[in-house]
Amino acid sequence: MIFLLLLLSLPIITILFFQAKNHKHATNLQPPGPPGLPFIGNLHQFDGQSPHTYLRRLSNKHGPVMSLKLGFRPVVVISSADAVKEIMKSHDAVFSSRPLLVSLQRLTYNCLDVAFSPYNDVWREMRKISTIHLFSAKQVQSSLPIFEDEVRKMMAKIARDASSSSVVNLSETMMSLSSNSICRVAFGKTYGDEGYGKNRFFDLLHEMQSILGGLLCGGLLALVSMD
């Protein structure tokens, strides 16, 4: 019985040993920060309701550059304008890449889009094409009448509902405005009318929100799988 317990606890002891060893080795390479627990790091301390207040308290204690550990994911928090300038301007190429998270790979076809693709030659070429052909000032101005028309329709609908003393669901109204504007710009049609198209599009939006909500879990799973 004792031998069986030792055999079952051996993997846990091994993981804790290597984690403590790696943590000790990396201590001198990381900024200061609050101590965490094995496996979960600082997740139990993080204030999800007021993260800005929590991070401000930590920066007052540990300095403008500090480190946290959210599960297996190490995080560096910057709260100094000078440090942000060093990262975003002086050493931007070093910090320009993005982590390959499971949820993002599912959402963006293995991170083939501009927003979440790793920093490489392909990303630079996609950014160049997007800047010239999609996000230029001329292209944005050409889409302005669409946005104005959708806002005008939204205001008219709110006015009709107000005149009939109907309750206006602002969340659904703003979602409809965003969806119709994006679809008209990207696909040349709107999903404002009732029907399968609108329902299918809203289903996709809700599914995307669920996937984005799993960014942290996806990161943890990716790191666990790599280990």
**pLDDT value at 15 more than 60:** no
The residue with greater pLDDT, 66 or 28, is 66
The predicted-structure confidence for 124-166, as pLDDT tens digits, reads as follows 888 888 888 888 888 888 888 999 999 999 999 999 988 998 8
Dihedral sign, Cα of residue 65, residue 43, residue 71, residue 92: negative
Q: What is the pTM of this model?
A: 0.49
**What is the reported pLDDT for 224?**
37
Structure tokens belonging to residue 139: 């292209």
Report the pLDDT averaged over residues 204-215.
Answer: 65
CA distance 10 to 17: 10
CA distance 197 to 201: 6
**pLDDT value at 111 more than 70:** yes
